[in-house]
Amino acid sequence: MGDSRLIIFDTTLRDGEQAPGFSMNTSEKLRLARQLQTLGVDVLEVGFPIASSDDAEAVRLIASEITGPVIAGLARCNRADIECAAEAIKAAERSRIHTFIATSDLHLDRKLRISREECLEAVIENVTLARTFTDDVEFSAEDATRTDLDFLCQIVETAIAHGATTVNLPDTVGYCTPDEIEHFFTDVIGRVPNSDRAVFSAHCHDDLGLAVANSLAAVRAGCQQVECTINGVGERAGNASLEEIVMVMRVRHDRMPYTTGIETTALFGTSQLLSELTGERVQANKAIVGRNAFAHEAGIHQDGVIKDRRTYEIMLPGDIGATSHLVLGKHSGRHALKKRYEEIGFELSRFEIDRAYRAMIDLADLQKTIEDADLVSIVEQIRAEQSAGAA
Ligand code: KIV
Ligand code: ZN
């Protein structure tokens, strides 16, 4: 395995934005797009232009304002969608049409009500059409991981033969396990004769909490692009989380020797911006960007981190643009309390630390965390009592 460059395809503004609670207006989308540009994503999927005139307008605006990343617009495999997407992205410095059709029998029979032959025809016709607008065409086989493998290989070969430059095989319903997805990509890439003419891409949903593990397994099998979102937002349980994938590559480079163009110090700010724009808070214990991801409350942990942060931290909060903090609460110890007092400018005697510690534990029974203002009132009270006693 070489140390190769992974393409980060961000779909926060499309798959993420279409999830309940995550819709944004045009100016909010533009703000997030600018931040994703700063973050350094390679491909920015900014919407599904045929879905609404607002969506099309946002895609148009972002395409004309954002330089750097490839700007992708989503389209089903039909003429109206593709023409609409092509029109919306045309101002982009580099543009991509991302066209998709479901390929599993379940979706073909029950949802689209078309035969496999009709599906194949739609791929030929619409990948060819998309290529008349741009040289960069991504084809996705929706529900690929539940598609008959022979048929899927035929679809993929056909899409590449007609001009798809990226082939995305989504685990649309988040059903796969990592070993399964690794075999799946290995099989498809190995069996499709023209697979070397396209970039393979993984798009994993998180219904079983396996989206990141599955994306990494797909990369091990030869995928050069992963589709992901900030904070893992997306349909239902979401998509693979961008920040988790990127930080695995960085922290465990020994196991995953890939690089990305992501400026990791912008990860925390991007996560915060998304939650500010949508009003959806990030789960406190969310890996990498949750507010507890670098917080330590337990006394033993705080003591360890004060002595050597590597005891309980595998990456530096600064790596993602966050700050570490020792959260004071009923599990904290005297060391952490003393350190926090020093940080806020108080030098406490041993006697004062003992008293402050007991006061803090009592207070922690009444409130979840102890703020700096609480520490100040505790020490002021102790000192007031000391001077009253001395008088
Ligand atoms: O999950 C999925 O299959 C998708 C495709 C449209 C790429 O989002
Ligand atoms: Zn999806």
Residue 75 exposed, middle or buried by CB count within 10 Å (0-12, 13-18, 19+): buried
Check residue 1 and give its pLDDT.
43
**170 ligand 1 Cβ < 6 A:** yes
pLDDT in tens, 235-264: 999 999 999 999 999 999 999 999 999 999
Check residue 327 and give its pLDDT.
84
Residue 205 half-sphere exposure toward CB, CA atoms < 13 A: 20
Say what percent of the chain tops pLDDT 90: 85
Contacts of 109 (CB under 8 A, 6+ apart): none
**Amino acid letter, residue 16:** G
pLDDT in tens, 85-120: 999 999 999 999 999 999 999 999 999 999 999 999
Return d(Cα 180, Cα 20) in angstroms, integer.
30
Return d(Cα 102, Cα 104) in angstroms, integer.
6
b/e code 169-183 from CB counts within 10 Å (16+ = b): bbbbbbbbebeebbe
Share the mean pLDDT of the chain: 95
Q: What ligand 1 atom has the least distance to the C-alpha of 15? A: 8
pLDDT grade for 217, boundaries at 50, 70 and 90: very high
Decide if pLDDT at 2 tops 60: no
The best mutation among 48, 97, 100, 204 to test binding of ligand 1, ranked by most ligand atoms within 8 Å of the C-beta, falls on 100
pLDDT in tens, 119-145: 999 999 999 999 999 999 999 999 999
Check residue 178 and give its pLDDT.
98
Check residue 297 and give its pLDDT.
83
- Beta pairing partners, 225: 7, 201
Mean pLDDT of 225-236: 98
pTM of the model: 0.91
**172 ligand 1 Cβ < 6 A:** yes
Element (H, E) at 251: helix 242-251
Q: What ligand 1 atom has the least distance to the C-alpha of 100? A: 6
In the three-class reduction of DSSP (H, G, I as helix; E, B as strand; rest coil), residue 146 is classed as helix
In the three-class reduction of DSSP (H, G, I as helix; E, B as strand; rest coil), residue 12 is classed as helix
- Ligand 1 centroid to residue 142 C-alpha, Å: 6
pLDDT in tens, 45-66: 999 999 999 999 999 999 999 9
- Ligand 2 centroid to residue 238 C-alpha, Å: 8
CB 289 within 8 A of CB 323: no
Element (H, E) at 375: helix 372-390
At residue 71, φ and ψ (nearest 5 deg) are -100, 120
Check residue 391 and give its pLDDT.
67
Supply 345's token pair: 């400018």
pLDDT in tens, 142-175: 999 999 999 999 999 999 999 999 999 999 999 9
Decide if pLDDT at 39 tops 60: yes
Q: Which residue has the tokens 């279409």?
A: 18
- Ligand 1 centroid to residue 37 C-alpha, Å: 22
Check residue 271 and give its pLDDT.
96
